[in-house]
Each structure stands twice: as structure tokens, then as C-alpha cells.
């Protein structure tokens, strides 16, 4: 029996076909991995299964019954639940309130033992009890009274799973569940998967990480450009074959890094004793010190939310440090404003592409000069030289292989990979002395990842200093000469690039330093 089957499922957005005649079936009680590149159409497919989007045409069957979901609630009522990549939790509510959100238990008054009256007030005591039982049944480690804003990412994910289990679903879809976990948390999650499978649940795992696919799944379905391009039992395939199916050609799964010790080189960038507080006064950076030499890539690893964002913000002038010093060669650049930093020769690839890196609604040529728009090249007597900006755009589009339908149009038309290349082009072309790169390949297709990695290595060869912050552990290990690990705003360890292995880094990322 099939848990889910799709017949000729198609989803179009205007002229763009996100899913093109998808036919697939997912067997009950199995773990099925659906893999594909960013933008291949996996998420669209799952959103249609889950009632978040309606198919343009085609049919969906759940447990061999034809279904037509218009909201996620319909899907949940049909026994289909989804754990999203970006958790759908309410930070200010407690764990049990989040689990029962939308299914609250109201207070009741029983009159004369017969008439039951539902009051509009929530019965917190009974809600708690129900969640306690659930946590016990599935052997999860959670305190139901904790507020969600105070718990770890792994715990948040467990809350999401419980939210679905409370609603008695037997098909669970996981969208990129391991993207933000430490290696140890990933292992734990994979154990949970096996436990859920044992209890008869069907699991669909959307991912682009092949290690998990090989380890836990029964079948792999590969999607490329909105079409199913392969479906095989996991034990009859290999990571290389899956990767080739995903991209359509052979891929190097490992970055080729030429070894060139930077040990004797001059120190280009030095951070000493850097600290800062967040909005509520909590110390989010605590005495951070490191140095980067010319021709060196320093990787910063850590579970998200351990101070990396704040570190990048302070180093790029978007946040003020309360203590400490930042030096570029002999120049003190502590707490300088972003325009001053750029003038000194600091290139910045910010963490959130569309928040800090680009302005979606502005044109390509405007985006490609942003940050350097005061340079004499583009601006004279306060008047912008738009012609020169356009010339600059044409050069950079060519040089950095940015594919764009309408060069006069806005940045919003670009795919994730090409948008990221716009930032790369802008920052690399200004010839920085040091580059701060935060999550440079997040949400980017494999082709662009290769391109960006090669560009970073090229910069390293030119003897520039690079700070690489990434939550993608393989990226950090593949590119860095040295790796520092952040935990709760502190540096908890440093590892040589070629001596790094994921289990050692994973322990450091969890704050275990022994």
C-alpha cells in the first residue's frame, strides 16, 4: 500500500514550471528520501502534499484515497504532518502551549454530573498532562513548561515533531531537518527516525545531504528541475550516483584545496578580546580573539545562534562592540562604520543575502555599486554616474558568469545562486585586503557552490585573508586552513584544517571541550 502517490502532478507559477508532471509513490512504513538541488522543486512538491499550495493540475493520493487539500489542517486530519525547515513555533509560548496550538483544551464545568459546559478559558493543567504523556511515550527529552524562545534548536525540532504526533499523524514529512543541527544531534535525529519507523510511521525526508540519505532511508527519489529523474532502493545506489543524478553531471563531492601553509605569513587581520551584548543585555560575544594571516582561510564553526551572526555584524560595522579591538594590518578599525570599513579594504559577504546583501527591488546596476557608490568612479559632486554603473554591471555580469534574463531589471528576478554571485562580484571586484564571508553558499545550487568555493580559493592564492563563517560543516572543513568553534558566544576550541573531523568538531559545537 502506498502512503502517498502523485499522478501527473504539475505546479506552475506564471510561466515558470516548478513541478512538471511528477509521478511517484511512497510506500507505507518506509523512510523515503527525496533529494535534489536547491530550487529543484522539492519544497513545492511537499507544499502541495501538505495543502499549503494547490497543484495546477494532477492528482494526489493519500493511503490510496484521492485527496484535495486546501489547508494544512486538511492534511493533518488525513494523517499527514510536516516538520518545516523554518520552525513554525511561537517563541513566547511554552512548549506545551505550542504543541497544543490550534487544538487547545478548554475548561469545562459539569453541572449536576450531566450537562457539560465549555468555557472559553484554556485548561492549562490538562494540556500539560497530555503533553507530559506524549513526551514520555516517545522518550523525548523536553520540559513542557519551558518557553520555546529559551530552548535549543534540536529541542525546537522535537517540539515540532511532537506537535504532529499529538495530532495522530502517521505520515511525517521532514523538510531539510538536519540543516541546523550538530553532527551529534543529527545522529540523535536519525535514531528518532528509526524509532518512529518501528512504530509504524511513514517518513519522507527532504534533504540534499547524502550521508543521511544513505544511512537511514529505504528508497531515494531524485528530483531535478521539477521532474523525477530517478527512484531507487537506497541499498542499490551510491552517493556518487545520486549526486550525478541531482546535478546531471559528475560532481566533485570534495573541494580540492591546494595545500600551502600560511604559517609564516604576515598577520593581516587581528581581533582581540571582542565582546558585545544583545538587545536584552545578554553577552552574546565573549572575549573573542583570533588572527588571520595573508593567504589564510579561517573557518568559524558552530551551531547557529552561538554568536556567529553577532560576530559578523560587529566585524562588518552593523553592530558595536563593547570591548575589544579589531585591527587590519596596523590600522585600528574597531567599531568603524560600514563605509569606512569598505574604504579600508574589508570586503563583506553578509549572512542574510536579501536583508543585508542586496535590495531585491532595486536594479542590478544599483546593487552592484551599493557600498562603493561614493567612489569617484560612480559619483561626482553628489550626482551618480548611471552610465558608468551600467558599464560596471555589464563587465561584472560577464566576469562572474551571472545569468540574468533582463539586465535592466531588479535583483528579485535572480535565482539564489545568481543573487549570491552579485554580492561576490561586488565585493571581490573591489579588491579587498580581507574578506568576511558569512554563509556564502546557503541556499545556492551546486554549480554556484563550486564557483563560489573556487573564487574563495582564488582569493586565498592572491594572499588575502578570509574569515569564513558557515553552518555547513563540510564547507568549513573543506576550505579552511584553521577552524575555530563558537559556543555560547565564546571560542571553545581551535582545530587545524587538515586534522579536523566532524565528530571532534561536533563535540566542540555542543560545548564539550574535554
52: part of which helix (H) or strand (E)? none
The cell 493533518 sits on which residue?
Answer: 76
- Distance of closest approach, residue 79 Cβ to other proteins, in angstroms: 15
Dihedral (CA of 159, 165, 167, 169) sign: positive
List the one residue from 33, 40, 46, 89 that touches other proteins (CB under 8 A).
89
Q: What is the dihedral of CA 151, 155, 161, 163, to 10 degrees?
A: -30
d(CA 337, CA 272): 19
* Residue closest to 424 by CA, chosen among 8, 68, 432: 432
**CA distance linking residue 320 with residue 284, whole number of Å:** 12
| 342 is a site residue for other proteins (CB under 8 A) | yes
Work out which of 71, 289, 395, 503 binds other proteins, going by CB under 8 A.
71
Stretch that binds other proteins, among 219-227, 239-247, 373-381, 444-452 (CB under 8 A): 373-381
Residues with Cβ within 8 Å of residue 43, at least 6 apart in sequence:
175, 206
Cβ distance to other proteins smaller for residue 216 or 348: 348
373 makes contact with other proteins (CB under 8 A): yes
CB 58 within 8 A of CB 68: no
Does position 356 bind other proteins by CB under 8 A? Answer: yes
Nearer to other proteins, 34 or 319 (CB): 319
Site string for other proteins, 146-185 (x = CB under 8 A): -----------------x----------------------
Q: Which of 1, 16, 65, 92 binds other proteins (CB under 8 A)?
A: 92
202: β partners: 171
**Can residue 276 be called a binding residue for other proteins (CB under 8 A)?**
yes
Q: Does 320 bind other proteins (CB under 8 A)?
A: yes
Is the alpha carbon torsion for 457, 458, 463, 466 positive or negative?
A: negative
Q: How far is the CB of 213 from other proteins (least distance, A)?
A: 26
Q: How far is CA 96 from CA 151, 166, 188, 282, 349, in A?
A: 13, 11, 22, 26, 39
371 contacts other proteins (rule: CB under 8 A): yes
Residue 166, number of CB atoms within 10 A of its CB? 17
Smallest separation (angstroms) from other proteins to the CB of 12? 7
Residue 86 or 249 with smaller CB distance to other proteins: 86
Using CB under 8 A, which of the segments 200-208, 272-280, 449-457, 498-506 binds other proteins? 272-280
- Cβ contact 342:371 at 8 Å: yes
Q: Which of 263, 361, 499, 514 binds other proteins (CB under 8 A)?
A: 361
Strands lying side by side in the sheet with 323-328: 283-293, 267-277, 323-328, 331-332
Neighbours of 60 (CB within 10 A): 22
For β-strands 219-224 and 31-35, DSSP reports them as parallel
Using CB under 8 A as the binding rule, the residues of this chain from 97 to 136 that contact other proteins are 97-98, 101-104, 106, 120-122
The count of residues in the chain is 514
Q: How far is the CB of 424 from other proteins (least distance, A)?
A: 15
Nearer to other proteins, 106 or 503 (CB): 106
Size of the site for other proteins (CB under 8 A): 69
Query: Is residue 370 near other proteins by the rule CB under 8 A?
Result: yes
- According to DSSP H, which parts of 21-79 are helical? 42-49, 72-77
Q: Of these, 84, 390, 442, 455, which contacts other proteins (CB under 8 A)?
A: 84
Binding site for other proteins (CB under 8 A): 12, 14, 56-57, 71-73, 76, 82, 84, 86, 88-93, 97-98, 101-104, 106, 120-122, 163, 276-281, 313, 316-322, 337-342, 348, 350, 355-362, 366, 370-371, 373-374, 379, 382-384, 386, 406
Amino acid at each position: 500500500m502506498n502512503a502517498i502517490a502523485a499522478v501527473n502532478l504539475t505546479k506552475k507559477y506564471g510561466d515558470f514550471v516548478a513541478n512538471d508532471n511528477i509521478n511517484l509513490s511512497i510506500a507505507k512504513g518506509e523512510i523515503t528520501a527525496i533529494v535534489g538541488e536547491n530550487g529543484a522543486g522539492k519544497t513545492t512538491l511537499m507544499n502541495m502534499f501538505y495543502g499549503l499550495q494547490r497543484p495546477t493540475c494532477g492528482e494526489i493520493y493519500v493511503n490510496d484515497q484521492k485527496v484535495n487539500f486546501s489547508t494544512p489542517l486538511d492534511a493533518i486530519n488525513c494523517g499527514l504532518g510536516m516538520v518545516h525547515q523554518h520552525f513554525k513555533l511561537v517563541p513566547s509560548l511554552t512548549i506545551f502551549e505550542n504543541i497544543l496550538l490550534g487544538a487547545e483544551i478548554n475548561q469545562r464545568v459539569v453541572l449536576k454530573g450531566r450537562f457539560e459546559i465549555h468555557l472559553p478559558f484554556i485548561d492549562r493543567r490538562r494540556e500539560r498532562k497530555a503533553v507530559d504523556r506524549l513526551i514520555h511515550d516517545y522518550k523525548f527529552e523536553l520540559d513542557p513548561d519551558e518557553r520555546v524562545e529559551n530552548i535549543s534548536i534540536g529541542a525546537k525540532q522535537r517540539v515540532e515533531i511532537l506537535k504532529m504526533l499529538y495530532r495522530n499523524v502517521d505520515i511525517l514529512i521532514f523538510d531539510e531537518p538536519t540543516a541546523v543541527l550538530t553532527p551529534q544531534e543529527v545522529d540523535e535525529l536519525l535514531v528518532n527516525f528509526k524509532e518512529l519507523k518501528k512504530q509504524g510511521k511513514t517518513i519522507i525526508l527532504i534533504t540534499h545531504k547524502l550521508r543521511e540519505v544513505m544511512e537511514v532511508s529505504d528508497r531515494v527519489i531524485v528530483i531535478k528541475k521539477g521532474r523525477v529523474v530517478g527512484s531507487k532502493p537506497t541499498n542499490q545506489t551510491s552517493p556518487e550516483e545520486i549526486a550525478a543524478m541531482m546535478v546531471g553531471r559528475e560532481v566533485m563531492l570534495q573541494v580540492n584545496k591546494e595545500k600551502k601553509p600560511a604559517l609564516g605569513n604576515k598577520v593581516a587581520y587581528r581581533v582581540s578580546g571582542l565582546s558585545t551584548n544583545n538587545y536584552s543585555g545578554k553577552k552574546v560575544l565573549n572575549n573573542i580573539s583570533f588572527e588571520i594571516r595573508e593567504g589564510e582561510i579561517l573557518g568559524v564553526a558552530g551551531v547557529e545562534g552561538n554568536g556567529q551572526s553577532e560576530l559578523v555584524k560587529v566585524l562588518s560595522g552593523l553592530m558595536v562592540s563593547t570591548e575589544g579591538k579589531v585591527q587590519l594590518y596596523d590600522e585600528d578599525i574597531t567599531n568603524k562604520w560600514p563605509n569606512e570599513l569598505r574604504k579600508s579594504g574589508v570586503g563583506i559577504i553578509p549572512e542574510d543575502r536579501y536583508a543585508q546583501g542586496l535590495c531585491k527591488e532595486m536594479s542590478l546596476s544599483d546593487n552592484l555599486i551599493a557600498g562603493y557608490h561614493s567612489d569617484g568612479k560612480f559619483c561626482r559632486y553628489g550626482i551618480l554616474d548611471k552610465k558608468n554603473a551600467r558599464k560596471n554591471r555589464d563587465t561584472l555580469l560577464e566576469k562572474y558568469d551571472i545569468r540574468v534574463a533582463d539586465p535592466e531589471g531588479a535583483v528579485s528576478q535572480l535565482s539564489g545562486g545568481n543573487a549570491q554571485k552579485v554580492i561576490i562580484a561586488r565585493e571581490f571586484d573591489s579588491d579587498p585586503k580581507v574578506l568576511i564571508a558569512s554563509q556564502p553558499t546557503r541556499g545556492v545550487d551546486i554549480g554556484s557552490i563550486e564557483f563560489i568555493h573556487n573564487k574563495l580559493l582564488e582569493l586565498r592564492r592572491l594572499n588575502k585573508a578570509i574569515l569564513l563563517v558557515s553552518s555547513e560543516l563540510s564547507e568549513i572543513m573543506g576550505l579552511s586552513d584553521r577552524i575555530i568553534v563558537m559556543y555560547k558566544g565564546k571560542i571553545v576550541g581551535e582545530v587545524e584544517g587538515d586534522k579536523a573531523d566532524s565528530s571532534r568538531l561536533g563535540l566542540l559545537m555542543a560545548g564539550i571541550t574535554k
